[in-house]
Structure 1
């Protein structure tokens, strides 16, 4: 059995690389998908496809439509969603992706530091599992494959 995991969360740090490396080291049969990690391309994809937009609002709206298409397709094809809430960046996209996963009935592993417990308490109570670290999320994934 191979699983596909959607990695939702901020695209500014290397947390996805950490997850992928640790899963590879454990030889777990998992492949990963997620949002466009090239921030500039994510912001400009609307103009890349539709051409120059007349203002910043339309530039953002066109990019959002293509990014939402990508998220929708890849998340629907995933078996599990891991949503990481960090402390450094605004986490609106992470909240949206975690909520989307729940509405699609996708199992959700929520990673959030203890200090974000209160603002994420409702989302956390709906997630299948809430952990505080990437390592704990990897252990949760690994447990799926344990036979004894």
Structure 2
């Protein structure tokens, strides 16, 4: 997907790519044309809410991460980051880390997870590829904000 500077420009890019007026775009995502105009305006500094971002992503088949930050985190059969890999077309937990080793230490790190970590893994494994990629993007953003 094209890398565009801000969310308003990305929304305008999508709208124009599909040949839609602001009113037609707004109707497809369930908001007013004024909202779309405000988002696209450089003067207004208005941002879409979570429901609008979700609606845009779903309706126009883009990821929320692209809408929000202009980058895609694509999950596919070659994706392998940390101990999350794709198995049978779905994200899954792998016993190996980036080093590729499968020694007992790595396996123990996965087995000895907190209840919250196990719940997160269970939720993650139940998601489709797109939602899993979005969850990873959110986690990465949270990590960066926490370490900043």
Query: What's the TM-score, normalizing by structure 2?
Result: 0.24
Query: What's the TM-score, normalizing by structure 1?
Result: 0.24
Q: Which has the higher contact order (CA 8 A, sep 6+)?
A: 1
More strand by share: 1
Task: State the structure with more CA Rg.
Answer: 2
